[in-house]
Amino acid sequence: MTEEAFVEAFQATHPDLVVSAEVLNPKRVSVVVKREGFLHVSRSLRDDFGFTHPVSGGAVDYPKENRMQMIYYLMNPESKFMLTFRVDLPRDDLTLPTLTQVWEAMSFHEREAHEMFGIEFVDHPNMIPLLLPPDWRGGYPLRKDFKGEGIVE
């Protein structure tokens, strides 16, 4: 399946859940989905579209837009193209179902996003600290408004 064919099929399969879908470059596609259909779409990407290889995940903070975006990178080994799978979260409600239910390998990436950005992954099986020291005094170091450990304004 070509990148263009995937975008068309993906949008047709999830018309009410897709915010955007576009070909970025050869072998690179980006999709943004609504949070309310996030887990359903994730399973469809794996089962219906062949994105069986989870590569990475992380978050981006957009404080001026009052949102964060969780980004997952998935690979389809047959078509050899990479999917940038995104979902927007309002900064005052940073909850998202865990993708460990779909791709267990996303566990470490979600743990990192939790520690660094404060995103809560509902039903994550092992949300123990990964990067920060046990005596960490608080704050999320990769948020753009982070002032320093333990500093509250």
Q: Domain limits of the chain?
A: 3-122
> What is the DSSP code (8-state) at residue 75?
E
Check residue 49 and give its pLDDT. 96
User: What CA–CA distance (Å, rounded) separates 103 from 105?
Assistant: 5
pLDDT in tens for each of the 153 residues of the chain? 889 999 999 999 999 999 999 999 999 999 999 999 999 999 999 999 999 999 999 999 999 999 999 999 999 999 999 999 999 999 999 999 999 999 999 999 999 999 999 999 999 999 988 898 888 888 899 999 998 876 655
pLDDT of residue 148: 80
> Which one is the CATH code of 3-122: 3.40.50.2000, 3.30.460.80, 1.10.1130.10, 3.40.50.10860?
3.30.460.80
Q: Distance between CA 66 and CA 144 in Å, rounded?
A: 11
Count other C-beta atoms under 10 Å from residue 101's C-beta: 14
The string of DSSP codes covering 77-132 is TTTTEEEEEEEEEETT--EEE-GGGT-GGGHHHHHHHHHHH--EEET-TT---SSS
Task: Give 24-37 as a DSSP string.
Answer: EETTEEEEEE-GGG
The span from the CA of 122 to the CA of 95, in Å, is 7
**Tell me, what's the pLDDT at 153?**
57
Within its chain, how far is the Cα of 87 from the centroid? 6
| pLDDT of the residue at 57 | 97
